Structure 1
Amino acid sequence: MEKWISELLVDQQKVSERQVRILEAAIESFSEKGYASTSTSEIAKRAGVAEGTIFRHYKTKKDLLLAIVGPTMSKVVAPFMAKNFVDEILKDEYYSAEQFIRAIAANRYEFVKKNTPMIKIFLQEIAFHDDIRENFKPVFQELIYKRIAPIMAHFRECGEIRNLPDATIIRLVSSTLISFFITRFIVIPEHPWDDEKELEDTIQFIMRGLRNETADQKD
């Protein structure tokens, strides 16, 4: 998992091999048992370090959680959960709303599949930590309304999608995708999923809700 941790911490200062092991152990433990039920001694044992080593890097268990959730905030924030995601998606030109949403769905599917333990921690803890929740708000504004909303507005103004507010369009798309990802990777991952079909059905469900039927009738 070390490569995964390094990618998660790409925007932070270089971390030592011991820190990587500590973060790896914390992610596994928090994901399995939850933050409240995990002790630093358990994390230390799992990481193969003394408990005091954890506190040399992180003053409290909460600081350790924030070291994981902090990058999560900047890389995985809803509804599409990733800082670099916006750059990856916006590097291409899209000729239809469906093409754009399809690119979002495929990109986020791969990300959630790869980073399920970290996302599980984020979802578990955001409800119980005011500071995490408060930090969520400005990142949401920066990532969504300044970068994604104009694209959705373009397709709406072209008459391709229904005349709904930008916030409503984003909420409908993101909540549907997130619901699928949570069910697929966190709630019942053991289900015999046909991922390709499920993803396609999800995209078509979104498009049926967004499509401008008046424009279709004119055509």
Structure 2
Amino acid sequence: MSDQEWIKELINDTEDTVISEKQQKILAAAIDTFSEKGFAASSTSEIAKKAGVAEGTIFRHYKTKKELLLAIVTPTMAKFAAPFFIKTFAKEVFEKEYEHYEDFLRMIAKNRLEFVKKHFSVLKIFIQEIAFHDELREPYQKLFNEHVYGKFKKIIEHFQEKGEIIDLPPETIIRMSASSIIGYILPRFILFPNQEWDDDKEIEHIVEFVMYGLSGKR
């Protein structure tokens, strides 16, 4: 799927929002530019040139470059990431029964990896800019707290009761588990994207690394 097709699917997937073909081109060009150069180093003139429109056309639709950024990432969170978390991630991952915590951890790692592979362009912008814009960070925090945190905590407590993982605060185990997965995804896609990666093998290494620490075995 091309950027323009993906943008059209993402933003027009509501009854009350319709964007023009020019807007689709602007958003696709902005995604490409922001992803490649970062928000601060990108110019609206460069985006306009890539989109094949006059720079003034951008400002007729988006008052500032910041508004253009939010037009890309905010709908991604509200209209795409939120349904994904609720329907795919929260339900299909967190509402399954797992025999062991490592099975659950493996499922999360595979699920997140496939998600990043499919939607890397916008996610790269989100990763680059989340530290600098509260408007990007706050919806994500709300989304995680409402649809993921409680289910994640319940699974951890279940395996703690079984004696499978050590008695650390669930918040700590969530951070340990998530940071291990993110610690693979960031180098995989951001730092060394051209390196050959064996995702299945790396996921097993992540699971082994986390479980060795959480099992309490010495």
Deviations 1:135-183 (A, max 9, x none): 4432332233233221222222222221121111110111110110000
Are residues 1:5 and 2:7 paired?
Answer: yes
TM-score using structure 2 length: 0.84
Aligned to 2:153: 149
Q: Does the Cα contact within 8 Å between 1:72 and 1:122 map onto a contact in 2?
A: no
CA distance in 2, matches of 1:24, 1:130: 23
CA distance in 1, matches of 2:178, 2:118: 19
- The letter for the 2-side match of 1:94 is Y
SS in 2 for 1:148: helix
Are residues 1:161 and 2:165 paired?
Answer: yes
Aligned to 1:217: none
Structure 1 segment 1-219 matched on structure 2, within 5 A: 1=2, 2-6=4-8, 8-9=10-11, 13-74=17-78, 82-83=85-86, 84-90=88-94, 92-213=96-217
CA distance in 1, matches of 2:136, 2:23: 22
4+ aligned runs moved over 6 Å, structure 1: none
Shift of 1:35: 0.6
Of stretches 181-190 and 61-70 in structure 1, the one that deviates more from structure 2 is 61-70
Deviations 1:42-66 (A, max 9, x none): 1111112222332232221111111
Deviations 1:70-111 (A, max 9, x none): 13444559xxx9454223323533222111111111111111
Identity rate of aligned residues, in percent? 53
SS in 2 for 1:137: helix
Q: Does the Cα contact within 8 Å between 2:106 and 2:203 map onto a contact in 1?
A: no
Q: Does the Cα contact within 8 Å between 2:109 and 2:203 map onto a contact in 1?
A: yes
CA distance in 2, matches of 1:208, 1:7: 43
CA distance in 2, matches of 1:156, 1:10: 44
Of stretches 26-35 and 44-53 in structure 1, the one that deviates more from structure 2 is 44-53
CA distance in 2, matches of 1:6, 1:164: 45
Shift of 1:10: 6.9
CA distance in 2, matches of 1:146, 1:171: 14
CA distance in 1, matches of 2:114, 2:139: 25
Q: Aligned pair count?
A: 211
CA distance in 2, matches of 1:185, 1:11: 28
Of stretches 123-132 and 162-171 in structure 1, the one that deviates more from structure 2 is 123-132
Structure 1: tracts of 5 or more residues without a match: 215-219
RMSD over aligned Cα atoms:
2.5
TM-score using structure 1 length: 0.84
Of stretches 101-110 and 113-122 in structure 1, the one that deviates more from structure 2 is 113-122
